[in-house]
Amino acid sequence: MSQVLQERDRLAERDRVAIFDTTLRDGEQSPGISLNTEEKLEIARQLDRLGVDVIEAGYPVASPGDFEAVRAIAREELSHSNPSICAIARAHVTDIDRAWEAIKDAARPRIHIFLSTSAIHMEHQLKATREDVRGLARASVAQAKSLGEDVEFSPMDATRSDIEFVAEVIDIVLAEGATTINIPDTVGYATPDEYGEFLHRLYVLVPGLHRVVLSAHCHDDLGLAVANSLAAVQAGARQVECAINGIGERAGNASLEELVMLLHTRADRLGVHTGADTTELTRTSRLVARLTGFPVQPNKAIVGRNAFAHESGVHQDGVLKERSTYQIMDACSVGLDTNRIVLGKHSGRHALRAALEDLGHELDGSALNRAFARFKEVADGKKELSAIDLEAIVAENVPSESAA
């Protein structure tokens, strides 16, 4: 059995979900993002440390710069997780040749072909008939297969397509040797129940789908990209396509860090896992934010600065006594040193005392009461109190003999 087919079977293991990262391709298509070759290489190296299975490095036909970046990544020694290096191409001869030229030196190259199957795309964008699409699908996958063994095919706008026609096209590309079939919710239109039912129905219409990897690629136009990706996994998909910080076209892609931690945290319920090193998530998120210039919103799940922060006195008291009272994940599991107790006007006595102890001040009784009263006065005028603020409160309100 060839290496590619062995890998296909490994990725299709019942309880393992492959992580296909498209930060460098779909993510970079976000309006306002443009990465140079060195920046793309830096992100690719970090994705390797994170342990993704596939890095979609770019769209080689888009520009000479993108071609060079993809080729550089393909030639880079990414030995930590040994990811496949993928280049995307339209169902055009020149696109496919260009993609292969860019990735052919990779240890594990993959060509990813996309071709629209929805009536709206065929009529208004492709100006093509169903017969045209069938022919393009057959010819493009055959061409890609003649160049490399690992070929992924995406019927673009699948979720707004006639499912019987999508099934026909999938049958055609499977006959030509496609090893991964990706079902894109290209415009973020599907709901989780619809998307799951769509994949279940495809398994019935295309029996050969059981012999390859089924993949999900979901956009976040309605805020459902992660939910739809989860529905796909529950329907049998064993590859999810996502991007760091959820960046991508329009409202973005499914967020890699959210998907990985969802599958990790709820493995008890879902029964699947990934090969990702979750402790690299925060580092990867911050790198991508810095290089793209797209900051992460404070309340972003998993990697936002408030994701493991607590200001409410009730929450702080609970977390200080037992983390699991208000945190379902350990901050260390995503690469942070600890959770963050934010001292503000909502904070309680327990949090203040713990913060003062960290600074070397052990206060109890009336000393703590005086410090807490002053703390509340100061907190009403500031969003967050610093160590300097706390030292000042102790100096002003606590007799020297009460401060250790």
Q: What is the pLDDT of residue 383?
A: 76
pLDDT for residue 117 is more than 60: yes
Higher pLDDT among residues 137 and 304, named by residue: 137
Distance CA(301)–CA(124), nearest Å, equals 37
Q: Summarize the confidence of residues 244-248 as an average pLDDT.
A: 97
Compute, in degrees rounded to 10, the torsion defined by CA atoms 35, 36, 37, 42.
Answer: -50
Q: What is the pLDDT of residue 393?
A: 75
Q: What is the pLDDT of residue 347?
A: 79
Q: What is the pLDDT of residue 154?
A: 98
pLDDT for residue 374 is more than 90: no
Higher pLDDT among residues 396 and 258, named by residue: 258
**3-state helix/strand/coil string of 173-224:** HHHCCCCEEEEEECCCCCCHHHHHHHHHHHHHHCHHHHHCEEEEEEECCCCC
Task: Give the pLDDT confidence of 184-199 residue by residue, as tens digits.
Answer: 999 999 999 999 999 9
Higher pLDDT among residues 333 and 367, named by residue: 333
Choose among 142, 173, 17, 8: nearest CA to 84: 8
Structure tokens at 373: 């009263």
CATH 3.20.20.70 positions along the chain are: 3-292
CATH 3.20.20.70 fits 3-292, yes or no: yes
Residue 404: pLDDT band with limits 50, 70, 90: very low
pLDDT for residue 109 is more than 90: yes
Residue 3: pLDDT band with limits 50, 70, 90: low
pLDDT for residue 66 is more than 60: yes
The residue to which tokens 């350990």 are assigned = 330
Q: Summarize the confidence of residues 236-245 as an average pLDDT.
A: 98
Q: What is the pLDDT of residue 97?
A: 98
Residue 55 near residue 102 (C-beta atoms within 8 A): no
pLDDT for residue 180 is more than 50: yes
Q: Report the predicted TM-score, pTM, of the whole model to 2 decimal places.
A: 0.86
Q: What is the pLDDT of residue 401?
A: 45
Residue 340: pLDDT band with limits 50, 70, 90: low
Q: Summarize the confidence of residues 113-138 as an average pLDDT.
A: 97
Choose among 23, 42, 112, 50: nearest CA to 274: 50
Q: What is the pLDDT of residue 307?
A: 81
Task: Give the pLDDT confidence of 5-44 residue by residue, as tens digits.
Answer: 565 555 556 799 999 999 999 999 998 999 999 999 999 9
Residue 67: pLDDT band with limits 50, 70, 90: very high
Neighbours of 369 (CB within 10 A): 13
Residue 402: pLDDT band with limits 50, 70, 90: very low
pLDDT for residue 1 is more than 70: no
Residue 375: pLDDT band with limits 50, 70, 90: confident
Q: What is the pLDDT of residue 338?
A: 65
Choose among 208, 228, 206, 202: nearest CA to 217: 228
- H helical segments located in 30-179: 37-50, 64-75, 93-103, 119-121, 130-147, 163-175
Task: Give the pLDDT confidence of 257-315 residue by residue, as tens digits.
Answer: 999 999 999 999 999 999 999 999 999 999 999 999 999 998 999 998 878 776 565 66
Q: Summarize the confidence of residues 212-227 as an average pLDDT.
A: 98
